Structure 1
Amino acid sequence: MLIGYARVSSIGQDLTVQEEALRAAGCEQIYSEKKSGRQAEDREALHDAMKAARTGDIIVVSRLDRFARSTQDLHNLLAALEAKGVGFRCLAQSGVDTTTPTGKLTLSILGAVAAFETDLRAERQAEGIACARQEGRYKGRGPSIDYAKVKRLHGQGISPTEIASLLGVGRTSVYRALAA
């Protein structure tokens, strides 16, 4: 059985294109999620797909970067699939198919390239942020809580722990606001 896995990184992105491609490829079950791909252990739908797969099944993804973002993750995931007797196939990179020796080699090479691209993207982002800071265009993330509100609540005799609970923030943030 072919089992599809689709992932996008953010809530605003759409899974439709990936899901349609997986259905067209013959996937009987499709597991989808909107989650960052940085760490495989945080992706519940991926774990569900792998859990559902039985010996002889194949996990199918539209693109390699939807499955793993680092060579370490890629090798760990593939080892887990191999231990279960489950294959892996990638639609966009048609040579990637762990049911063949050439596919295994291709997969390793593409995994290294994907990891390299991730590192380059992070470098470019850091350079862009540094440049924007220098030009005064990047101020960083704004405060997550209203300092004046924290101080007003504290002035009313409400404890930092209660303020944190009321505002849905950590106590450390409350103490930081009170010290400011």
Structure 2
Amino acid sequence: MAIVGYARVSTTGQSLEDQLNALNDCDIVFQEKKSGAQSEREELNCMLEYVREGDTVKITKLCRLATNTKHLLEVVELLDVKKVSLQVLNLGIDTASTTGRLMVTLIGAIATFERQTLLERQAEGIALAKSKGRKPTTRAKQAQVRELLVCGMSKAQVAQKLNISLSSVYRIISKCHL
């Protein structure tokens, strides 16, 4: 019976350190830097294949395992079939009990609802800003700044082309480590 950890961050710029520290009692930890929205996560799949009856999978938060209720329930069901329990450290939940299974399902559904509500509000805000004729923020132009600099444009040319200040270009460069 092994204790198996799974740690994930969404981007390569983020650190797994906090999660790995919380999972320090695990026999093995599968870790990856990949968006949870991507259905093909190699390390998650490897972890799900690795676990055996009687093992326990530990994660720090539900959002590290799945970003929607459907995927979460699929993973929990697969673990159940393999007779593997799931522990969610920040919530103190263990699916070895029926109450733990219920809690994972409810919290997963609530988290999905909150995420969908946030995305709806964000889309409404963007639509409202566009309808009022607001220009995209400098932050929204980060990718364009990056592309133009890579193509060889000077910082001053980038600022002029994108109609942003030179200091904004420098700020984007420093935040994006260009």
Residue 113 of structure 1, aligned match among 106, 110, 115 = 110
Correspondence for 1:129: 126
Residues 11-31 of structure 1, C-alpha deviations (whole Å, 9 max, x = no match) = 2211100111011xx211111
- Of the two, which has the highest radius of gyration? 1
How many residue pairs match? The answer is 143
Separation in 1 of the partners of 2:47 and 2:135?
Answer: 43
- Whether the aligned pair in 2 keeps the contact of 1:6 and 1:15 (CA below 8 Å) is yes
Correspondence for 1:33: 32
Secondary structure at the residue paired with 2:91? Answer: coil
Give, in angstroms, the shift of residue 9 of structure 1. Answer: 1.1
Correspondence for 2:97: 100
Secondary structure at the residue paired with 1:27? Answer: coil
Separation in 1 of the partners of 2:118 and 2:136?
Answer: 18
Give, in angstroms, the shift of residue 129 of structure 1. Answer: 2.4
Correspondence for 2:5: 4
Amino acid in the other structure paired with 2:52: R
Q: What is the Cα-based RMSD across aligned positions, in Å? A: 2.3
- Normalised by the length of structure 2, the TM-score is 0.72
Amino acid in the other structure paired with 2:122: Q
Secondary structure at the residue paired with 1:4? Answer: strand
> Which 5+ residue runs of structure 1 have no aligned equivalent?
150-180
> Which 5+ residue runs of structure 2 have no aligned equivalent?
152-178
Correspondence for 2:162: none
Moved over 4 A (4+): 139-142
Residues 80-121 of structure 1, C-alpha deviations (whole Å, 9 max, x = no match) = 111111111100010x21101111111111011111121022
Amino acid in the other structure paired with 1:115: T
Distance 1:22 1:145, change over 3 A: closer
